[in-house]
Structure 1
Amino acid sequence: MAEDEQGRTTAEARVPFHVRFWGVRGSIPAPGPKTQRYGGNTPCVEVRCGDELFIFDLGTGVRVLGEELLAAGGPTRASIFLSHYHYDHLQGLPFFTPIFIPRFAFTVYGAPREGRSVKEVLSGQMVHPYFPVTAEDTFKAQLTYKDLGSGQQLELGPARIHTLDLNHPGGNLGYRVECGGRSVVYATDVEVGCEKDTELVEFARDADMLIIDAMYTEDEYRGRKGSAKIGWGHSTWESAVETANKSKVKKLVLFHHDPKRDDDAMDRFVEEVRKHRPETIAAVESEILKL
């Protein structure tokens, strides 16, 4: 069978595979006129491989994704992969309209934490007195919950999905999606500087795209500008570049932008990174990247 210049078979290369960003901001939403170009929603990333829809994280961006699914008439089936349960990665769930509609079906994957399953964790965020309605009473979509751990592998349609536990307070799963001879790694909320660094480099080895936490500059992280952020579970653009270089990934995508960094500051941020990796981009809401 014929192969292209990347060694993919003709059939593999024809499988549609893209990434779309619905939320790119870290820690807290940052709406307003100064963040319109890059976006102010918290993490939510759509990955489509053939007919499979994968949703990574349920930050505030998932609300807009839900509106898109309703307007487009589907798909009505998707797999949701949670990196971890810090609130900026979950706060869109109660406002994700399809989850209240019976014709939709979702399989939700996430790691058990502190003795609780992914189902128990998600249900626990919608309880009185913190929220007016509960998940059990209001979620009408067909829901399946599956616990997932580091080092596991799933095959869903034409896609193969791998997991890796990353360095973040409370734990955090990174994901690698392989589809049609191409691959994308989603590694949000990771702090380098420990024994897990080598694991991440190998996990991302030769990926076509690496979407990675690059919240700070080295000066911000070390406290040379403002208070130090060491131990907070996030990385710098310098460490993102180093990981991308060691992994030999083709495209570096900066993610989990600091909510205090407005559009003009993000432009300067990306310009500096491109001095070291010219193909680097920063994730932008609504942008579609084809693999």
Structure 2
Amino acid sequence: MRNQARVPFEVRFWGVRGSIPAPGPQTKRYGGNTPCVEVRCGDELLIFDLGSGARALGDSLLASGTSPVRGNIFISHYHYDHLQGLPFFAPIFIPTSELTVNGPARNGRSTRELLSGQMVQPYFPVTAEGAFRAKLTYRDLAPGDTLQVGPAKVRWLELNHPGGNLGYRVECGDKSVVYATDVEHGSELDAAMFEFARGADLFIYDSMYTEDEYHGRCGPARTGWGHSTWQAAVAAADAAEVKTLVLFHHDPSRDDAAMDKLLRQVRKHRPEAIAAKEAMVLTL
């Protein structure tokens, strides 16, 4: 275990916003791209979701000069904000790239079918089958399984979100990261999620709303929309006894100043908490 613990383990954020990209001067510090998180465990590249942040990640991978690009992509679910970057992820068009795309089968359709389905006319000018040139492997993730990717062990769990959503746990050496975006608190799935995240070093968790927003005390109620609050994020982090809470999937209407205010409120309860920002790198 001592040797495993020394394996480099790094998390880099390329997209942290939820629902729709929100670029502009009011969001430039936290970023406006939708979810995409790069994880490095030793020499292994793991990518979680392909929101609009995936475009910059793909460009960075090619610009690094490391060729070919090899890695595993893990899709949490198939809503647009988590797939918007797929048609613009440059390595997928390069014949020497070797990519495995992992995701849940839904409604009788495989991961491959679901991803290809968003690139069809009249909604997109080219098809995935016609445009993708990389060596692609698609893997449907079965409930309760575990995947070994080099020194990284990856597990997944169904979360409470309309249409389904997978949360992921990556263990590398004696460190662990949980990626739990797009989850609504208050369901019978909570207890399993707390146990799944138990003791994680980083807990990347949906904290899109405040309780006032969620319950409709200001604006429309967001109950049933599939997202959590910062208060519920704190409660989940406490219940799972995680080391560091990372707020994620920021509301597109929440500008940098409002994000600063939200983080200050969270740190009254969890002083170590971090609000994810684009280009942020966390080393475990």
TM range (shorter): over 0.9
Query: Residue type of the partner of 1:241?
Result: V
Q: Following the alignment from structure 1 to structure 2, what is the Cα–Cα distance between the partners of residues 172 and 229?
A: 18
Structure 1 residue 152 displacement after superposition? 1.5
Q: Following the alignment from structure 2 to structure 1, what is the Cα–Cα distance between the partners of residues 270 and 199?
A: 15
Structure 1 residue 287 displacement after superposition? 0.7
Instruction: Say which SS state the counterpart of residue 212 (structure 2) adopts.
Output: helix
Structure 1: runs of 5 or more not aligned: 1-8
Query: Residue type of the partner of 1:219?
Result: D
Query: Which residues of 2 match residues 1-291 of structure 1 at below 5 A?
Result: 9-74=1-66, 76-291=69-284
Instruction: Say which SS state the counterpart of residue 13 (structure 2) adopts.
Output: strand
Structure 1 residue 225 displacement after superposition? 1.1
Structure 1 residue 229 displacement after superposition? 0.2
Structure 2: runs of 5 or more not aligned: none
Aligned 8 A contact 1:110 1:149 in 2: no
Aligned 8 A contact 2:5 2:172 in 1: no
Instruction: Say which SS state the counterpart of residue 64 (structure 1) adopts.
Output: helix
Query: Residue type of the partner of 2:121?
Result: H
Q: Which residue of 2 aligns with 1:6?
A: none
RMSD value over aligned CA atoms?
A: 0.7
Structure 1 residue 150 displacement after superposition? 2.8
Q: Following the alignment from structure 1 to structure 2, what is the Cα–Cα distance between the partners of residues 149 and 190?
A: 20
Instruction: Say which SS state the counterpart of residue 122 (structure 1) adopts.
Output: helix
Structure 1 residue 45 displacement after superposition? 0.3
Query: Residue type of the partner of 2:243?
Result: K
Instruction: Say which SS state the counterpart of residue 224 (structure 1) adopts.
Output: coil
Structure 1 residue 151 displacement after superposition? 1.6
Q: Following the alignment from structure 1 to structure 2, what is the Cα–Cα distance between the partners of residues 156 and 45?
A: 17
Q: Following the alignment from structure 2 to structure 1, what is the Cα–Cα distance between the partners of residues 22 and 156?
A: 29
Q: What stretches of structure 1 move > 3 A for 4+ residues in a row? A: none
Q: Following the alignment from structure 2 to structure 1, what is the Cα–Cα distance between the partners of residues 278 and 117?
A: 29
Query: Residue type of the partner of 1:74?
Result: T
Q: Following the alignment from structure 1 to structure 2, what is the Cα–Cα distance between the partners of residues 207 and 34?
A: 32
Instruction: Say which SS state the counterpart of residue 153 (structure 2) adopts.
Output: strand
Q: Which residue of 2 aligns with 1:3?
A: none
Structure 1 residue 12 displacement after superposition? 2.0
| Percent identical residues | 68
Query: Residue type of the partner of 2:61?
Result: L
Q: Deviation per CA, 1:248-286, whole angstroms, max 9, x where unpaired?
A: 100000000000000011000100110110000100001
Aligned 8 A contact 1:161 1:175 in 2: yes
Task: Output the TM-score relative to the length of structure 1.
Answer: 0.96
Query: Residue type of the partner of 2:30?
Result: Y
Task: Output the TM-score relative to the length of structure 2.
Answer: 0.99
Q: Following the alignment from structure 1 to structure 2, what is the Cα–Cα distance between the partners of residues 105 and 286?
A: 24
Aligned 8 A contact 1:43 1:61 in 2: yes
